């Protein structure tokens, strides 16, 4: 599931539904339901709208710190350290939040002002260097590559190349970088794989590219 994707509900279906072209009858509510929403009468539509309005109000009144669930943990930092050879200050993956063996991994990096690159990049405007975003994404790719499902070695992992890189928006201190690396093509005999990488902050795509990864003996 893409980081920006959210579960659809009848309420979201109402917000996206279009009104019929025919004029409305005064005092009645009409709505054209989407494929996922079936309303049998105007009365049913009114009840659903009322329920959604009450639910939205209750959500808005909830304290902001209680509105957003934490990211799930599929692999914590200790498990990541067992897989990746990187260590401080160059381990750029904090948690794996989704993973399908031999196919993809989704992980996060919490970008903080304490990261050692911010004093120089830049003192007055802390922006995460693009090359480190790419490195962080490659490390997520390494988590996929170094697993038995791909036939990788836990001892050696190489970033062999990158293509079609685009930086869409700056990543600054305080952001959470969400990275998805998907295995596109694998040459198991040679230990070489092509991967697609995308990185997000919230729903915004901030970086994307194609990665060439390699494992094996030196």
Residue appearing with tokens 């405007």 = 125
8 A C-beta contact, residue 102 and residue 149: yes
- Tell me the H-state helices in the chain: 10-16, 42-61, 77-83, 130-145
CA distance 11 to 5: 16
Q: Considering just the CA atoms, what is the radius of gyration of the chain in Å?
A: 23
CA distance 185 to 96: 22
Identified catalytic residue from 121, 166, 169, 185: 121
CA distance 52 to 9: 10
Q: Among 140, 135, 217, which Cα is nearest to 183's?
A: 140
86 catalytic residue (yes or no)? no
Q: Which two tokens stand for residue 51?
A: 């329920």
Indicate which residues carry an active-site annotation. Answer: 121
């Amino acid at each position: 599931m893409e980081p920006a994707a959210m579960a659809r509900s009848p309420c979201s279906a109402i917000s996206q539904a279009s009104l019929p072209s025919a004029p409305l009858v005064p005092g009645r509510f009409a709505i054209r339901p989407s494929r996922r929403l079936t309303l049998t009468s105007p009365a049913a539509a009114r009840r659903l709208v009322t329920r959604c309005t009450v639910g939205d109000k209750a959500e808005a009144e909830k304290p902001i710190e209680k509105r957003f669930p934490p990211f799930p943990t599929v692999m914590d930092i200790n498990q990541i350290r067992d897989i990746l050879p990187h260590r401080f200050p160059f381990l750029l993956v904090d948690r794996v939040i989704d993973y399908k063996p031999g196919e993809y991994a989704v992980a996060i990096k919490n970008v903080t002002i304490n990261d050692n690159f911010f004093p120089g990049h830049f003192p007055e405007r802390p922006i995460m260097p693009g090359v480190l975003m790419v490195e962080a994404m490659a490390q997520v790719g390494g988590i996929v590559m170094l697993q038995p499902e791909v036939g990788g070695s836990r001892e050696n992992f190489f970033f062999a190349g990158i293509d079609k890189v685009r930086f869409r928006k700056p990543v600054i201190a305080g952001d959470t970088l969400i990275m998805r690396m998907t295995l596109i093509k694998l040459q198991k005999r040679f230990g070489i794989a092509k991967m697609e990488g995308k990185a997000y902050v919230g729903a915004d795509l901030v970086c994307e590219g194609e990665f060439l990864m390699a494992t094996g003996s030196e």
